[in-house]
Chains A and B, each alone.
Chain A
Amino acid sequence: NAGVTQTPKFRVLKTGQSMTLLCAQDMNHEYMYWYRQDPGMGLRLIHYSVGEGTTAKGEVPDGYNVSRLKKQNFLLGLESAAPSQTSVYFCASSYSPGRNQPQHFGDGTRLSIL
C-alpha cells in the first residue's frame, strides 16, 4: 500500500518558471491538503480539497493554484515561481468526515527557486 505519493521529490526552478506538483493517494480519502514547511514556521496550509472537483484556500494561498479532477489526485501549480516559494511541500490526505481522522503525509517535494 503506497499511501500518499508525491512527485517530483526534488526540483530546481528559475524565477518566473512554472511547474506542477502531483500528489496521489490510494486510500480512497475524501480530503486532501497541500502544506509548505519553512524553517521555524511549522506546516502552513496552502490549499485543501474536501472532495473531487472542490478546492478551497488555506492560510497562504497566494501564488499557488490547485485542482482535484480525480478523487485520488491533488495537483499544486506555481504559475510564475518566485524565490519566496523555495520550501518543502507536503501533501496530506484524511478520511472524511470528522475531527478524529489523522492526516497521512507524503514524503515531501523539496523545491528551490533561483
Chain B
Amino acid sequence: QQPVQSPQAVILREGEDAVINCSSSKALYSVHWYRQKHGEAPVFLMILLKGGEQKGHEKISASFNEKKQQSSLYLTASQLSYSGTYFCGTGGFSGGGNKLTFGTGTQLKVEL
C-alpha cells in the first residue's frame, strides 16, 4: 500500500519554509526522499532509518517518527531550485531487496 503524502501541492515564495509529510499504514524501517524535476529522473536527497534520526542536506532536513510511522521533509528558506516533485519511498523489513514503495508525490513550486 502506497504511503500518503501531504500536501499534494504547494506554492511558495522564495525564502519561505515548507513541510512535506509522508505517512504509512505499515511499520517503517526506512524512508527515502527524492526530488524530481519535470522531465528528469528522480534524484536522491536523503535516507532515514528506524530510530527517529533526523538528517540534513543543505537547507533541507527530515525526521522519522517511528511511533507515528511518519516522516517529514523540511525545506527552509526555499530557493527557486527547490521546485519539483518530492517523493517519499518507504521500506519495510530489512530483507526484500531494499524495495521501496513510493508515495504519489508533492508538487512544490517556488516563485519570486
Q: How large is the interface on A (under 10, 10 to 19, 20 to 34, 35 or more residues)?
A: 20 to 34
Interface SS majority for chain B: loop
Residues on B with beta carbons closer than 8 Å to the beta carbon of A100: 30, 47, 49
Decide yes or no whether B40 CB sits under 8 A from chain A.
Answer: yes
Q: Is the CB of B94 within 8 A of A99?
A: yes
Q: Tell me the bound Cα distance from A105 to B91 in angstroms.
A: 17
Q: Is the CB of B42 within 8 A of A90?
A: yes
Q: Is the CB of A99 within 8 A of B30?
A: yes
Q: How far is the CB of A102 from chain B (nearest CB, A)?
A: 4
Residues of B within 8 A of A (CB): 2, 29-30, 32, 40-44, 47, 49, 87, 89, 91, 94, 97-105
Q: How far is the CB of B83 from chain A (nearest CB, A)?
A: 18
Q: How far is the CB of B1 from chain A (nearest CB, A)?
A: 10
| Mask of A98-110 contacts with B, CB within 8 angstroms, 1/0 | 1111111111100
25 contacts between A and B (CB under 8 A): A31-B98, A33-B99, A35-B102, A40-B104, A42-B103, A44-B102, A45-B101, A48-B99, A50-B97, A58-B99, A94-B98, A96-B97, A97-B98, A99-B30, A99-B98, A100-B47, A101-B47, A101-B98, A102-B47, A103-B100, A104-B44, A105-B43, A107-B40, A107-B41, A108-B41
Q: Is the CB of B104 within 8 A of A41?
A: yes
